[in-house]
Structure 1
Amino acid sequence: MPPIGTRRALPLATAAALLGGLLTLAAPDHAGAAVPDTIALTITNNSGRSDPVYVYDLGTQLSTSRQGWADANGAFHAWPAGGNPPTPAPDAAIAGPATGRSATIRIPKFSGRIYFSYGQKLDFRLTTGGLVQPAVQNPSDPNRNILFNWSEYTLNDSGLWLNSTQVDMFSAPYAVGVQRSDGSVSSTGHLKSGGYTGFFDALRAQPGGWGRLIQTRSDGTVLRALSPLYGVETGALPANVMDDYINRVWQKYATATLTVTPFTDQPNTKYYGRVAGNVMNFTNSSGAVVTSFQKPDADSVFGCHKLLDAPNDQVRGPISRTLCAGFNRSTLLVNPNQPDASSASFYQDAVTNQYARGVHARMADGKAYAFAFDDVGNQESLVHDGSPQQAYVTLDPLR
C-alpha cells in the first residue's frame, strides 16, 4: 500500500496555495516486470458537456526531482524560473476529447496530478519556489469560476498508483482505472446514479452551515464544494463545528483507554491513549510515553495537521492518522480499538465530517479520498498495479 494518505506531501509546489493537497508518493520496489518510461492514459469524456476539455499532466520527475509538465507524448518539460509576484507558467494544456469520445496520451514516471477543465484553460503561475496551483478557496484565484478537477498519481519502477480525490474539493466527477498484465481492468471513483446533484442537495440540507461550502458561478452553475478544512479557514464553517464531539472524546478517554493498532501487518504493535487534562498521552506496551497530542480543534481534524500533525515516522504519524480518521468518521466513541474497520459505524454521530459522509455515501463502491487519511482502513479510491499496461480517466456526467 503506497503512502498516499499517510502524509500531506506536496512535491508539485511549495506555495501556500497547495495547503490541503495530497499527492501520491513513490513506493518500495517490488514490481515483477520492468515498468516502461511512459504508459498510455486513455481519457474518455462521458460528461455530456459540449464545452471543450483541457488536460494537464503536472508533477515531479522522479529521476531528477525536477518540477514540470508532460506533453501528450509523455515528454518532460521543466518549469522555467518563476518570480515574485508569480509569473505565468508555460501553456501545458493538452486538448481533451469531445463528449462521447476518447483520447490517449502518455504519462511519464512522475509524482503528480492529471488536471482537467471544462470550457477554459486553467491559469497556472510560477513563484521562485515552484508551481502555484489553483486555490479556489481564495475568491481572487483566477481559476475560481472554472469547472475543473484533478486526479493524483505516481508512476515509478514499482508500478502505478492512481486515485481520485476529494481532499480539497468535490467537483466535476470522474473515475480512474488501470489495466493489469492479465488484461483485467480495475476502476474506482464512479458516482451512483444521481450522486453528483444528490451530494450538493444533501450538503445544502445539512444544518450548521455545511451548504456554505458550495461555490457557484454568477450564472448559477454549481462549480464545487470546498472541503471542510477550507470551510473553517474561510469562515464558511464555524471554527467550533467539531467541538462537541472532540469534547466527548476527551471526556471518555480520561477514564478509559484508546487502543491504536496502526499497522495491519503488525497486530502486536499497539499504543494506548489516555487523557490527562488537555493532553492525550500514548504509551507503548512497556508503559513508556511515546507521543502526546494536545486537544485538537476542527481545523486540525479536517486537515489532519497542526495539533494532529503526522510526520512520516513509525510512531507519531501512524497514531495521528488513526486519530484523524476516527475523528472525521466519528468512530472514537463507539469503538475504543482503532482504526475501526467497519464502515457501518462511520459518520453515525450527529457531529461528524458531513462532507466526507456525503462523498462516500454517493460513491458507487463507497470508496473516496474525502480527507487526508481516508486510506486508513482501506476506504480510499485507488487503483494500483505493479506492471500497468494502461491507465484510464473517465469524465462522468454532472448529474
Structure 2
Amino acid sequence: MRTTRVLCTIATAAAVAVGTLTAVTPAQAAVPATIPLQITNNSGRGDAVYLYDLGTNLATGQQGWADANGTFHAWPAGGNPPTPAPDASIAGPGNGGSVTIRIPKFSGRIYFSYGQKLVFKLTTGGLVQPAVQNPSDPNRNILFNWSEYTLNDSGIWINSTQVDMFSAPYAVGVGTQTTGHLKAGGYNAVLNGLKAQAGGWAGLIQTAPNGSILRALSPGHGIETGALANTAMSDYVNRVWTRYTSSTLTVTPFADQPNTKYFGRVSGNVMNFTNSAGQVVTSFQKPDASSIFGCFNLLDAPNDLVRGPISRTLCAGYNRGTLLTTASQPDNNSADFYKDAVTNHYARLIHSQMVDGKAYAFAFDDVGNFESLVNNGNPASATMTLDPFN
C-alpha cells in the first residue's frame, strides 16, 4: 500500500517559501525554541478533543512527539509487527473553549480527534501514520484530521491539508494571516458535490458504523479502495497525448527564472522534455490516474532542479485540467482550472468551497501558490481553529 506523501509536501512548500521570505538579519530576534499554538474549538460538537504534536526534531533528526509544554520525547524502538506507541495525547478544548500548547522546532503534524484517542504504533522504521484507506486501520472509524507545520530558525510554515482526505474542518493562522476556513455550508457542499458526481466519486466518502460521515478520501486513495478506476483520467490524458504529438508543451517551472524553459513532445508512449539546447533532460511515460492524483509513480518528482520541477508542473496541469487550455505551463489563471469534464473533482469541489479559494487538495497544489499555507519569518504564535461542520 502506498504511503502518504503529505509530510513531503509541506517540506517542499517550506523550501519554496523560504526563498520568498526577507532574509533574517542580525537585528531581528531569533526564532525561539518553542512558540505558543492556540487551539480554539468552534466546532459546535460536544465530543472530547484530543491533540497530538508529532514529527521530526530538526535539531537531532529524531522522530517523536512534543507534550503540551513543547518538550520533545523520542519514540522508543518499534517492532515487527508494530508495537503500541506511548500515549502522546494532549487534552484539547471543549466546544467554545481554547487551549494553548507550545510547539517546538519540528517538521510534523498537529493531529486532532473527536470522541476517541487515535491509535499510533511503531515499527522498526518509526511511526505508523493513520491510513484510513486501509479498512483494517485502527483509526478507520474515528473522526480526526491534522495540520502540517515546519518551525525552524527561518520561521514557521503551517497549512491545512486535504492531500489525503477531506474531514473535520479547521483553519490555521500566524500573525494576521489565516487560511483553511470553509464557506458557510461548505463542508456539506463538498460532500454533496461528490455524491452527485458520476464516475465513482461518491465512493470516496467513508461513514462510521452509525452512518455518520467521517471523511472523503482523496481520489488517489479512492483508487486504492476501488472506489475510482485507475482509468478515471484516461480520456483527458489521451487528448493531451494527441495534442503534444504534433505540438510542443512549454514548461517554465520557476517563476523567478523565466528563461529556464523545457519543451515537451510526445513520441509513442513517452513525453520527452528537452532544454533550450535541444538535449533530452527527462522523459515521462503516459500517466495513469493514480500517478496524477498522487503526483508520484509515473509523475515522480525528485528533489532536483529538472525532473522534479517539470513533474510538479505537469501534475498541477493534469489535476487542474489546464494542459489543453494553454501550451505554456504552469497556467496560473484560476479561471481556467477544473473546466474539463474529466478532472480532479475532489480538488475542484474543495477549492470552490474555501473562503480564500486555497487548499492543499493534491500534493503540488502549491504550483502558482494556490495552497492553504501561511508563513512568518519571526513568529510569536500560531493558531488552529476547529470549525463548524455546517
TM-score scaled by length of structure 1: 0.94
Deviation at 1:130, TM superposition (A): 0.1
In structure 2, how many angstroms separate the alpha carbons of the residues matched to 1:82 and 1:221? Answer: 34
2:294 paired with 1:309:
no
Amino acid at match of 1:96: G
DSSP 3-state at the match of 2:246: coil
2:24 paired with 1:31:
yes
Deviation at 1:234, TM superposition (A): 1.6
In structure 2, how many angstroms separate the alpha carbons of the residues matched to 1:364 and 1:282? Answer: 37
- Specify the alignment match of 1:261 in structure 2: 252
Deviations 1:145-172 (A, max 9, x none): 0000000000000000000000000000
Tell me if structure 1 keeps the 8 A contact 2:330–2:368. yes
In structure 1, how many angstroms separate the alpha carbons of the residues matched to 2:276 and 2:373? Answer: 33
Q: 1:325 aligns with which of 291, 316, 332?
A: 316
Tell me if structure 2 keeps the 8 A contact 1:209–1:236. yes
DSSP 3-state at the match of 1:73: coil
Deviation at 1:22, TM superposition (A): 3.2
In structure 2, how many angstroms separate the alpha carbons of the residues matched to 1:86 and 1:18? Answer: 16
Q: 1:22 aligns with which of 3, 7, 24?
A: 7
Amino acid at match of 2:173: G
DSSP 3-state at the match of 1:254: helix
- Aligned-CA RMSD value: 1.1
Amino acid at match of 1:168: D
Tell me if structure 1 keeps the 8 A contact 2:233–2:343. yes
2:92 paired with 1:82:
no
In structure 2, how many angstroms separate the alpha carbons of the residues matched to 1:237 and 1:98? Answer: 37
Tell me if structure 1 keeps the 8 A contact 2:7–2:108. no
In structure 2, how many angstroms separate the alpha carbons of the residues matched to 1:254 and 1:392? Answer: 49
2:38 paired with 1:42:
yes
Amino acid at match of 1:251: T
- Specify the alignment match of 1:134 in structure 2: 130
Deviation at 1:17, TM superposition (A): 6.8
Unaligned runs of 5+ in 2: none
Q: 1:285 aligns with which of 276, 282, 287?
A: 276
Tell me if structure 2 keeps the 8 A contact 1:72–1:94. yes
Deviation at 1:233, TM superposition (A): 1.5
Deviations 1:240-294 (A, max 9, x none): 1100000000000001110000000001100000001111010111111111101
Tell me if structure 2 keeps the 8 A contact 1:17–1:134. no
Point out the more displaced range, 229-238 or 127-136: 229-238
- Specify the alignment match of 2:371 in structure 1: 380
- Count how many residue pairs are aligned between Structure 1 and Structure 2: 379
Tell me if structure 2 keeps the 8 A contact 1:42–1:104. yes
Q: 2:289 aligns with which of 282, 287, 298?
A: 298
Deviations 1:294-333 (A, max 9, x none): 1110011011011101000000000000000000000000
In structure 2, how many angstroms separate the alpha carbons of the residues matched to 1:357 and 1:75? Answer: 40
Q: 2:177 aligns with which of 170, 174, 186?
A: 186
In structure 1, how many angstroms separate the alpha carbons of the residues matched to 2:118 and 2:226? Answer: 26
- Specify the alignment match of 2:56 in structure 1: 60
Q: Which residues in structure 2 correspond to 1:91-130 (within 5 Å)?
A: 91-130=87-126
Q: 1:391 aligns with which of 364, 382, 385?
A: 382
DSSP 3-state at the match of 1:22: helix
Share of identical aligned residues, percent? 72
Amino acid at match of 1:345: D
TM-score scaled by length of structure 2: 0.96
2:348 paired with 1:357:
yes
In structure 2, how many angstroms separate the alpha carbons of the residues matched to 1:98 and 1:270? Answer: 52
Q: 1:220 aligns with which of 211, 214, 219?
A: 211
Deviation at 1:75, TM superposition (A): 0.2
Unaligned runs of 5+ in 1: 1-15, 180-184
In structure 2, how many angstroms separate the alpha carbons of the residues matched to 1:306 and 1:219? Answer: 37
Tell me if structure 2 keeps the 8 A contact 1:17–1:135. no
In structure 2, how many angstroms separate the alpha carbons of the residues matched to 1:155 and 1:126? Answer: 24
Point out the more displaced range, 283-292 or 111-120: 283-292
In structure 2, how many angstroms separate the alpha carbons of the residues matched to 1:31 and 1:42? Answer: 25
- Specify the alignment match of 2:144 in structure 1: 148
Deviation at 1:236, TM superposition (A): 0.7
Tell me if structure 2 keeps the 8 A contact 1:22–1:372. no
Amino acid at match of 1:355: Y
